[in-house]
Chains A and B, each alone.
Chain A
Amino acid sequence: MAKFKNHILVCAGTGCRASEGEEIVQELKTAVSQNQLENEVQVVRTGCFGFCEKGPIVKMIPDNTFYTQVKTADAKEIVEEHIIKGRQVQRLLYENPEDATRISDSKHMNFYKKQIRIALRNCGFINPENINEYVARDGYTALGKVITEMTPEDCIDIIKQSGLRGRGGGGFPTGLKWEITNKVESAEKYVVCNADEGDPGAFMDRSILEGDPHSVLEAMAICGYCIEASVGLIYIRAEYPLAIQRLKIAIEQARDLGVIGDNIFGTEFSFDVEIRYGAGAFVCGEETSLIQSMEGLRGEPTVKPPFPSVKGYMGKPTNVNNVETFANVPVIINKGAAWFASIGTEKSKGTKVFALAGKINNVGLIEVPMGTTLREVIFDIGGGIKDGRKFKSVQTGGPSGGCLTEKHLDVPIDYDNLLESGSMMGSGGMIVMDEDDCMVSVAKFYLDFTVEESCGKCAPCRIGNKRLYEILDKITKGKAQFEDLDNLRNLANVIKDTSLCGLGQTSPNPVLSTMDNFPEEYLAHVHQGKCPAKQCKALKEYVINAETCVGCTLCSRVCPVNAITGDKKQPHLINAQLCIKCGACFAKCKFGAISIQ
């Protein structure tokens, strides 16, 4: 980066690109060249900065000015004001919600203050399409160190001592996994990177691959050395075109540089990486399904044992880790196991990346030390609940996890605490819900997902989840009986107890956790036929209060099915027969004249 005086870093993650990120890059480049600054200013596409809520993000180097919600039209001003005249564009700076002051450096923002970025260390700092920028930030030094100075056992020891656990869900100790695979005798072994991030509402792995693909390649090579594998396979969702493209570029560049390929760093060790595509099956996040899928089969899980470490891809010992797990590895080698182990809680070391989303002010990708509380994440980093609503629940672990509540807010986040609270770490989705969210509907939403994603191989998951969904559906429609609640719980427990793979063994968690934490909501639906959050369509009705309605006609115009009638300046009326309960009128009414009953 040294050659240029100024760098303009533009987030080119999927989220920011969706809001004209690429156009902004083009406009910035045009502005740079119009002002003949090509030799002084470089416009760089980077990976995700994390602060998606305020995207697109543009960051100025060297002064670290952090512009938020930049539009294409702002490009010219940024170049002419910031670079040429040396004046920050005030209106693009982040506004501190507490006192409305402008903050220019991201490190002073609440969103970033409590974060420690290890897995995301390079995201937003480097151009992921240029290996030299990765190398400039100590890239591939860990690999060099491992293969020239260490035995596989030495390296495995470091990973073991660091306390790193799998970031994909179960939290199995990574070093131990490597050791097991290392000890199985076989001429052929494989390293697999699980990038089949399928949790709805989770995009940690994708962001890492988009923002820092080399950290994953480097770690896979290190793992290959440790378990004596020469082939690495990345199993990635086909729905991630940008991550795939950047991975392909990264693999090419790494081969050209000789950090993967034959005789790396002049040693005997050879290692190369191939990409395999997923095709839209959540269950393929389960490692045995993933292996089936890589072999060109239906992604149906197989019974463990045998574990992939013993019998995996093509029947050979295979070490499977997910993207985030790998992204931690080079740093651990470079900074040492003790450093890593000093971060986090007793049994969960290091940091965890979360995709923070839902009814929260600061949606984004965050990385916090293990042991951070949910309260810190939601209220400090996340900036609290949107629109001043009341916090109700936070869902962690995606479809495998549970809905935690107020009483869990001060629980330090780690694998064991989340499990104990009835949820799980999962891959790191964290969805915040407010008082308007119906917890029965949320459970139903997740079950709908599970029903769609169940592979169908085992009976409890194939049929049981369908029945769970049907009971929940009955509840949300006010048609359930008291005994349905007993059936729901028994069924949920048996599905957990008898399902073949991790998907089925955890799919009832959203049901069980909401039943445990929000029993009154279930009872209200079943007993009184009421949805306390006023979300369940069948249990609600939109009504116009004739006294407060001023007859502005806004509601009748916005109604998509013409269910609202009334003359101008006269109270309006909703035809309940026609009403599809979309809520458009409710949202539009400025006088609070429409209520839900």
Chain B
Amino acid sequence: MTKIKLADSKVTELKQVCAKFDNQKNELINILHGAQELFGYLPAEVQEIIAQQLSVDVAHVYGVVTFYSFFSMSPKGEHPISVCMGTACYVRGAEKVLDEFKRILNVKIGETTPDGKFSVSSLRCVGACGLAPVVTVGSKVYGRVTIEEVQQIINEYQ
């Protein structure tokens, strides 16, 4: 685990997020959402500050962070790619599309390319089943993606 230094202004903002929820420990998940919005991910330092503000053990915060797949302890790529692996997308070939992204970018699920440009993850149902299989890059949604289109999608961001 590499230690990073958080800017003082960001620390203040983080404490404001906690304060917005009255530093209540049963608001931990809402606070973690707020923190992840602020930093893009939840490094150890952020969890330590939250634990301190809420007067809970940092092990508890870490236990919660690692329970929920929405929370991440590593920064996502500049262009986070998510392949929907909901059943509708799965039966329409999402796995092959995901494999192709992994192959071209040479990363595993949850990893970021060394240049920090792309991260690949799978998610469960964005609810656009009519467009299956669905890929999202950032907030942009690509529907009915075929394996041939994978390279084209990546090219758009290079």
Contact = CB atoms under 8 A, between A and B. Distances in A.
Task: Let me know if chains A and B touch directly in the complex, using CB atoms closer than 8 Å.
Answer: yes
Interface of A: 13-15, 17-19, 52-55, 198-203, 206-207, 238-240, 276-282, 293-299, 314, 355, 357-359, 363-364, 395, 398, 429, 431, 433, 437, 442, 445-446, 449, 452, 455, 558, 560-561, 580, 582-584, 587-588
* Majority secondary structure of chain B interface residues (helix, strand, loop or mixed): helix
Contacts of B91: 358-359, 431, 433, 437, 442
B129 A584 contact: no
B20 interface: no
Contact of A296 (B29, B85, B124): B29
B143 interface: yes
Given A296-B28, A449-B124, A279 B86 contact: no
B127 interface: yes
A14 B96 contact: no
Contacts of B24: 296
Nearest to A359: B91
A363 B68 contact: no
A357 B88 contact: yes
Interface residues of B, number: 46
Interface string B111-153: 0000000000001111111111010000001010011100100
A553 B8 CA distance: 60
Given A200-B85, A437-B91, A294 B26 contact: yes
Nearest to A56: B130
B76 to A, nearest CB: 14
A95 B68 CA distance: 44
Contacts of A584: 147-148
Contacts of B92: 358-359
B126 A18 contact: yes
A126 B103 CA distance: 45
What 9 A-B pairs have minimum CB-CB distances, sorted nearest first? A52-B130, A357-B88, A296-B28, A279-B68, A203-B127, A201-B87, A280-B70, A18-B141, A200-B86
A358 B64 contact: no
B41 interface: no
A220 B134 CA distance: 34
B87 A398 contact: yes
A202 B127 CA distance: 7
A442 B95 CA distance: 12
A200 B67 contact: no
Nearest to A207: B127
Contacts of A431: 87-88, 91
Contacts of B134: 18
A214 B70 CA distance: 27
Contact of B71 (A200, A279, A358): A279
A97 to B, nearest CB: 16
Contacts of A452: 69
A522 B51 CA distance: 50
B78 interface: no
A277 B30 contact: yes
B78 to A, nearest CB: 20
A358 B103 contact: no
Given A201-B125, A279-B32, A582-B147, A18 B131 contact: yes
A325 B74 CA distance: 38
Given A239-B70, A582-B99, A583-B96, A200 B64 contact: no
